Structure 1
Amino acid sequence: MTQGIGPSAAEGAPLEAVVATPSMTSSSAWAMGGYAAGQLLRFAGNLVLTRLLFPRVFGVMALITTLMQGLAMFSDVGIGPAIIQRRGGASERFLRTAWTVQCGRGIVLWMCACALAAPFAAFYGEPGLAWYVPVAGLTTVLLGFESTSMHTLARDLRLRQLTLVDLSAQGVGIVTMVALAAAHRSLAGPERETAVWAVVVGGLAGGGLRLVLSHVALPGIRHRFELSREDLSVLFGFGRWIFVSTILTFLVGQSDRLVLGKMIPLDLLGVYGVAAALAMLPTQAAQRLGSAVLFPAYSRLQETRAFEAAFHRARAPLALGGAIIASGLLAAGPYLIRLLYDARYREAGWVLQLLAVAGWFQILEATNSAAILAQGRLRWLTANRAAKLASMLVLLPIGFRVDGFRGALVGLVASDAVKYAVSSAGLRVGRVRLVARDVALTGAIAASALVASAAGRRAGALGGTAAAFLAAGVVVVVVWAPLAIRYVRRALTARKGEPLPGLGAAP
């Protein structure tokens, strides 16, 4: 389990032998555990807030969040990655220089947010944005003044303390939002535009606690302003390679909200945001696991003939889990929305179904991208992001013209399919074949969702929404159980030394 993996040793070896070092195993556990806990906190807070506030608030916050993320990513000079990848560790002078640049960047971002607030409000016809954006933009200042310990601990794979800081800050932010929203509802009613302030101030509370904890609860140097010309050269030399990637990542990940925000009412954008938050949970989990575990594992094997086998072994549980979740959301998504949210969010049901299809392509593409990155073929990563962006900017407006909001979402799904196709082509060039397996799994998702949907409709006619949700979910589990059990048995066999085949391999 701990021996080195060379060209001969890697051939046929279980993937666990590549990744099961104590630090990586522990870090992966904390990364995924922290992600799961954070998502549960966010989901619980979102569930409460949807009952206290009205959909328009979520639409406004979606625009604010997208603008702030855009400013941050368009100015990303790779300070965190530069610290993490610094060979031999970063000196105190380097860390202080990085922190000084980070502080200055945070202040500049806030000034940009203030300058853009009025034009942004005018563009979307929402006067309140002129006030909300400058205040929400203060989070960039808080982030800028965070300790560089947030990066040095990540470099050393000491994720326990980072996870606890993140969860504490997130918990305080959510509690503050809920408390202020409840107070606002009792004093002014849920329909008042000023309800947005509850979410804005809650975000500042969480960011403030994170800033304080980064300095007092994490080990690290004592910060002061310092600039070193040599270290600045290193920082910006590294950052120029980050710049293009982060711009494309932002445009790919957030353009849907910017484009839809101009096409549809903010109330409907808020409904879309509720559905997207649920649909993105499995995708974000796959992306987190891909960066924390799969990319390092693939990188260790990239020079060996075992790469394709390792790729399928590592990808199999993610693909299987994603297929089960996609089937469940397609079949039971509308019933889940009815159980969790009131009638104002009813349309989120069919939105969730379409986004589940997009999420399936995103899960597959996330595993593809980790492998392409490990192979060092960065042009294919840029190509698949550019393909997604170009197709989305073309297909969303066309879809909207043909069938309104529903047509726009179909265009969004199609753009994710295009991104997946480009990444699959990149792997095919790298001698990794996967399309046949993915087509088979996609067909199985469609078939199981149809069967489960039929069962849900029949049960719903007899016993209501809860019965429909339960019936659809049970059918999905029953349909996929044989394949899941088969894979688990093979995984247990692989732990005893026998190679684990990828999903869909011959028995």
Structure 2
Amino acid sequence: MEDRQGAETVADAEAGQPGEATSQVGEIGRQAGRGLRWSVLGNLVMKVGSFAMSLVLARLLVPEDFGVYAIALSASQFVIYINDAGIIAATVQWRGKLEDMAPTATVVAIASSTALYGLFWIIAPFFAQMSGSENATWVIRVLTATNLVYGLTAVRSAALLRRFEQDKLTKANLVGFLVNAPVSIVLAANGAGAFSFAWGQLCGAAVTGVLVVAFARVRIGFGLDRATARKLLVFGLPLCVSLGIEGVLLNADSVIVGDALGLTLLGFYLLAFNISSWVPGLVGTAVRYVALPSFSRLAEESRESISAGVQRAVPLLFSIVVPFGVVLGTLAPAVVVFLYGERWAPSAEVLRFLAILMVVRMLTALAVDILAALGATKSTVWLNLGWAVTLVPALMVGARVDGIRGAAIGHAVVAVVVALPLAALALHRAGVVLAPIASALVRPLLGGALAGVVMTLLAHVVDGAPLVQLVVAGGTGLLVFVLVVVPQAVLKQLGGRVTELIPARSR
């Protein structure tokens, strides 16, 4: 399938014209923009709610509970990456009628998720013991059950993404969270420990799944057409392997840190990792909801169209993510202490370096979606495999040399030195023109550097109350970033609109 799609894309590119490519990018961009707005709005509400819930749970639970949950979460997150055998992505980019492949895709997704859940039920005790806590066994078994729901609803979720109906998917996720939060908090208040996370997420996932099936309007049917299944798996399995390796990348640190340093330090590490995941969870998840369908549609048009789309998307994403990374990297102690209290202060040194990882994760995730849209799923395997092979030893050495901070440093160094170059190489080999992107990244890099210097200096000047540091140092640094990165014409235009909104009497 990869070769056939590549040949079709090249043929389209030869027939296309620059003006046509720009028009195609604009039309798909408008559809994606609507989906992105809904995704960002939904993720924003979800993240605010999750943040509020984490504040409550951090006061009801102890670091050891977070450590046990971290072990179960690492198992669940690994499973979710490979849960559907790549069926969601294969459905989104399917070149044909959804109704023709839905019955077969449904059977494959359910069979895959059920088999994986059975496997992890069996190996849960060994995984927990390897991670440093046998108490995590049943938490793993409960939490990984959420993946059964995802398998049942995989094709319906993909249908919503394919049609850019992210609003419906967002509403389903929000209702699921409204179930998850109270269940988790009530259980935690009654001494359920790490199980409070697991049962809350399982209940929320079940409610979300029911709504996704209702919203998708895809007739529930089961069938197995061998030709369709083969096409789905030829595309999906390499991507599934790649995402499985990505799951290792994101969760190997929990296993390694838990085994080497114990549950308490793992709890501190998990808190920092969760904070560093706020932006990928908010912006990154929203982008991934629209990136694969958007770039899949562009890939159907021409290679020139997808290159134009990438040249727009990467600088924009980078400019959005960098200021968040700078704030978390320079003001980590203030962020952690202000939000969670002095008890969690050891997490700050970890967060400084995981902020770097956050930026890289956003860029590589976009690269994976672009490659999947092009049908180059094998390239995603090599990208994530090269990253994982270097990451695991770096984490092991870092944890033993410098504790949880050393593990975070290992994560950051490998991300910058290995992951980014591999992502750029994979996109280049897939035929995406990357050269124009370099000049577009200069201003965000300069703005981030200057903002970091300003924040560091002001943090020392107003040393004391974390809130004051965040407001004075963080606010001034972000202002510096905006002044450097946003073109003056845009700033003047925004200033003019603000002036128009101010009543004449108040001026």
For normalisation by structure 2, the TM-score amounts to 0.82
Give the structure with the larger helix fraction.
2
Displacement of 1:203 in angstroms is 1.7
In structure 2, the residue matched to 1:108 is 115
Distance 1:115 1:59 in 2: 21
CA change 1:28–1:443 in 2 (3 A) is closer
Displacement of 1:258 in angstroms is 2.4
Gaps of 5+ in 2: 1-14, 495-507
2:169 is aligned with 1:162: yes
- 1:13-49 Cα shifts (integer Å, max 9, x gaps): 599735344x433222222222222222222211221
For normalisation by structure 1, the TM-score amounts to 0.82
In structure 1, the residue matched to 2:17 is 7
2:40 is aligned with 1:32: yes
| Structure 1 segment 342-491 matched on structure 2, within 5 A | 342-369=341-368, 380-417=379-416, 418-426=418-426, 431-433=433-435, 434=437, 438=441, 441-442=444-445, 444-461=447-464, 464-486=465-487, 489=490
In structure 1, the residue matched to 2:335 is 336
- 1:419-446 Cα shifts (integer Å, max 9, x gaps): 1122234556655235576577446534
- 1:328 and 1:472 in contact (8 A); partners too: no
- 1:192-216 Cα shifts (integer Å, max 9, x gaps): xx41222222122112212333445
Does the residue aligned with 1:195 lie in a helix, a strand or coil?
A: coil
Distance 2:227 2:310 in 1: 40
Displacement of 1:114 in angstroms is 2.1
Does the residue aligned with 2:478 lie in a helix, a strand or coil?
A: helix
2:92 corresponds, among 84, 87, 91, to 84
- 1:212-270 Cα shifts (integer Å, max 9, x gaps): 334455533245x5545555444444433333222222222322222222222222222
| Structure 1 segment 30-69 matched on structure 2, within 5 A | 30-69=38-77
- 1:316-347 Cα shifts (integer Å, max 9, x gaps): 33222222212222222211211110222111
- 1:31-71 Cα shifts (integer Å, max 9, x gaps): 22222222222222112211111122122112112212323
Which residue identity lines up with residue 199 of structure 1 in the other structure?
Answer: F
Distance 2:119 2:444 in 1: 46
2:267 is aligned with 1:257: no
1:19 corresponds, among 28, 31, 44, to 28
Distance 1:481 1:382 in 2: 37
- 1:98-123 Cα shifts (integer Å, max 9, x gaps): 33443343433332222112222332
2:193 is aligned with 1:195: yes
- 1:7 and 1:303 in contact (8 A); partners too: no
Which residue identity lines up with residue 337 of structure 1 in the other structure?
Answer: V
Distance 1:215 1:374 in 2: 25
2:258 is aligned with 1:246: no
**Identity value in percent:** 22
Tell me how large the CA RMSD over aligned residues is.
Answer: 3.3
2:269 is aligned with 1:266: no
CA change 1:286–1:195 in 2 (3 A) is closer
Displacement of 1:389 in angstroms is 1.0
- 1:169 and 1:206 in contact (8 A); partners too: yes
Question: Higher mean Cα deviation, 294-303 or 446-455?
Answer: 294-303
- 2:63 and 2:268 in contact (8 A); partners too: yes
- 2:238 and 2:381 in contact (8 A); partners too: no
Distance 1:324 1:341 in 2: 22
- 2:371 and 2:379 in contact (8 A); partners too: yes
CA change 1:86–1:447 in 2 (3 A) is closer
CA change 1:229–1:278 in 2 (3 A) is same
CA change 1:302–1:229 in 2 (3 A) is closer
- 2:315 and 2:441 in contact (8 A); partners too: no
CA change 1:476–1:134 in 2 (3 A) is same
Displacement of 1:148 in angstroms is 4.2
CA change 1:445–1:15 in 2 (3 A) is farther
In structure 2, the residue matched to 1:99 is 106
Distance 1:111 1:490 in 2: 56
CA change 1:124–1:240 in 2 (3 A) is closer
In structure 2, the residue matched to 1:501 is none
Displacement of 1:315 in angstroms is 2.7
Question: Higher mean Cα deviation, 58-67 or 110-119?
Answer: 110-119
- 2:272 and 2:351 in contact (8 A); partners too: yes
Displacement of 1:177 in angstroms is 0.3
CA change 1:136–1:385 in 2 (3 A) is closer
Which residue identity lines up with residue 386 of structure 1 in the other structure?
Answer: L
Distance 2:129 2:179 in 1: 33
Distance 2:18 2:131 in 1: 60
Which residue identity lines up with residue 8 of structure 1 in the other structure?
Answer: P
Displacement of 1:415 in angstroms is 0.9
CA change 1:103–1:400 in 2 (3 A) is closer
Which residue identity lines up with residue 470 of structure 1 in the other structure?
Answer: V
Which residue identity lines up with residue 420 of structure 1 in the other structure?
Answer: L
Distance 2:261 2:217 in 1: 47
Does the residue aligned with 1:128 lie in a helix, a strand or coil?
A: helix
Distance 2:388 2:275 in 1: 22
CA change 1:370–1:215 in 2 (3 A) is closer
In structure 2, the residue matched to 1:179 is 186
- 1:291 and 1:370 in contact (8 A); partners too: no
- 1:348-368 Cα shifts (integer Å, max 9, x gaps): 222211111222233344455
- 2:39 and 2:170 in contact (8 A); partners too: yes
- 2:130 and 2:255 in contact (8 A); partners too: no
Distance 2:360 2:109 in 1: 35
Distance 1:313 1:29 in 2: 17
In structure 2, the residue matched to 1:500 is none
